[in-house]
Amino acid sequence: MRQAGAVKTLLLIPSCCLLCGLTSAALGASAGPRFYGDPPDDHHPWAVHDGNRPQPVRVVPGTFSQPDQPGKPPSDARILFDGKDLSGWQSDKGEPAKWMVKDGVMTVVPGTGQLLTREQFGDCQLHIEWAAPSKVEGDSQGRANSGVFLMGMLEIQILDSYDNVTYADGHAGAYYGINPPMALPIRPPGEFQVYDIVFRRPIYRDGQVLDPGYVTVFVNGVLVQDHTPLEGPGTHMTRTKPGPFPEKGPLSLQDHGNPMRFRNIWYRQLPPRPAEGGTDGWLTKEATTAKRKEIAASIRADAASLVNASNPAPEMLRLMESLVYEVDAPTALKAGRLAAAYFDKLKGKSAAELAPMKDEVKQLRDVFNYLVRFGRLPTDFAPRAAAEQMIKEQGWDKKKP
């Protein structure tokens, strides 16, 4: 889709054509041919391999953590704890954080209460590293217990589960009280454990669930929660039920009376899902129609900047491109007139004069065939017949011996 007027005419037509004068400077950087894969349908606003589809954002990857050294976050990460101070955190009473920071690590000071980030967020990729005390004390839930509370609500359990028996839905990596981890890839106490969590909050509208929400958890690189549907926040001894979450909330770390250590905490905000306005994935018919109309309008606006009576091809092709997203009779009529004008300019030219136009005309024919095939132009579209006739008369359809 054209964004803020930045996208130029990007066509299947090569930049070397003479009559159209479509220079490489006019075309800009191509994101791929426009008339290529299957067009949009009732639930997908983009064509397959759509050259108008926005490009993914470039992210510089981080580095993996080592036992004695935290890794580097990716370039778009929001840093929640970088080992220096707790300025981004507060107590559950809104007071300054009272946990201890030393040598790049924050440590729970038992009895001071849980910590919450001052920043609030929703859907995210969360990275957090934690370590139980080297000296083993207690057992079951009494051994090195804490928790990661997403949005201050949903708990992913932290526990020294190394050679420690407890209830299954209370082990390290559990969606606490609801879903046990699929495995226990836990390192010995004293060593840092790495949690990577993908969280999608529930989405409700008018009391109806549009998306139940999910949580995926990797512990030390091993999948332990596999796109687990949300059933409320989870809690001790009580079964929670599915329900709406707020749009944003803090990340909370639990003080369970054990001197747990934490380092290298960051998150990446995730793009919206279709249920909340995202356009990647399966959309409702209503959302798809609205997005297709938006894309078509943007392309038609761009076509208006390409008006050139002596060179109708760029405007024509951009208008035809808009038909891929929305069939519009006035647009189709105007594109047809411009296509007819294009072929009128070729009438009377000698074979030598037409020779440089071979690839351009053949590709125009392919564009017309694409639009006819998918019902964007009528089967009796006259410029299509003109292109076919020229290709046949000039012998451009014959294979070389």
* Same domain membership, residue 140 and residue 94: yes
Mean pLDDT, the chain, rounded, equals 90
* DSSP H or E stretch at residue 302: helix 285-304
* Same domain membership, residue 204 and residue 85: yes
pLDDT higher than threshold 50 for residue 9: no
The verdict on residue 63 lying in a domain is no
What range defines the domain where residue 202 resides? Answer: 78-276
- DSSP assignment, residue 378? -
Determine the pLDDT at residue 202. 97
Determine the pLDDT at residue 34. 78
Least confident range of 2-16, 168-182, 262-276: 2-16
Determine the pLDDT at residue 269. 97
The verdict on residue 132 lying in a domain is yes
**Region 40-69: what's the mean pLDDT?**
95
* Same domain membership, residue 229 and residue 136: yes
The verdict on residue 305 lying in a domain is yes
- Region class of 16: left (phi > 0), else alpha (psi between -120 and 50), else beta: alpha
* Same domain membership, residue 208 and residue 149: yes
Last residue of a domain, which of 246, 276, 306? Answer: 276
Minimal CA–CA distance to 220: which of 269, 187, 244, 254? 187
* Same domain membership, residue 139 and residue 45: no
Determine the pLDDT at residue 16. 32
What's the first-to-final CA gap in the chain, in angstroms?
Answer: 42
The verdict on residue 171 lying in a domain is yes
Cα–Cα distance for residue pair 296/382, rounded to 1 Å: 23
Determine the pLDDT at residue 26. 30
Are the C-beta atoms of residues 134 and 230 closer than 8 Å to each other?
A: no
* % pLDDT > 70, the chain: 91
Least confident range of 22-26, 178-182, 214-218, 286-290: 22-26
Minimal CA–CA distance to 100: which of 85, 121, 113? 85
> Any idea what the CATH number is for the domain that residue 202 is in?
2.60.120.560
Cα–Cα distance for residue pair 340/334, rounded to 1 Å: 10
Last residue of a domain, which of 222, 250, 276? Answer: 276
Domain count, the chain: 2
* Same domain membership, residue 187 and residue 323: no
155: which 2 tokens?
Answer: 């708990």
pLDDT higher than threshold 50 for residue 302: yes
pLDDT tens digits along 101-111:
999 999 999 99
* Same domain membership, residue 272 and residue 283: no
* Same domain membership, residue 106 and residue 35: no
pLDDT tier at 309, thresholds 50, 70, 90? confident
pLDDT tens digits along 151-205:
999 999 999 999 999 999 999 999 999 999 999 999 999 999 999 999 999 999 9
The verdict on residue 262 lying in a domain is yes
Cα–Cα distance for residue pair 65/164, rounded to 1 Å: 25
Cα–Cα distance for residue pair 53/29, rounded to 1 Å: 14
Least confident range of 16-25, 126-135, 235-244: 16-25
* Same domain membership, residue 92 and residue 200: yes
* Same domain membership, residue 267 and residue 287: no
pLDDT higher than threshold 50 for residue 14: no
**Region 52-78: what's the mean pLDDT?**
95
* Same domain membership, residue 154 and residue 91: yes
* DSSP H or E stretch at residue 392: helix 382-393
pLDDT tens digits along 313-366:
899 999 999 999 999 999 999 999 999 999 999 998 999 999 999 999 999 999
* Same domain membership, residue 41 and residue 125: no
Question: Tokens 């018919």 appear where?
Answer: 285
The verdict on residue 245 lying in a domain is yes
Last residue of a domain, which of 213, 243, 276? Answer: 276
pLDDT higher than threshold 50 for residue 227: yes
The verdict on residue 314 lying in a domain is yes
The verdict on residue 61 lying in a domain is no
pLDDT tier at 401, thresholds 50, 70, 90? low
More confident residue, 223 or 4: 223
pLDDT tier at 31, thresholds 50, 70, 90? low
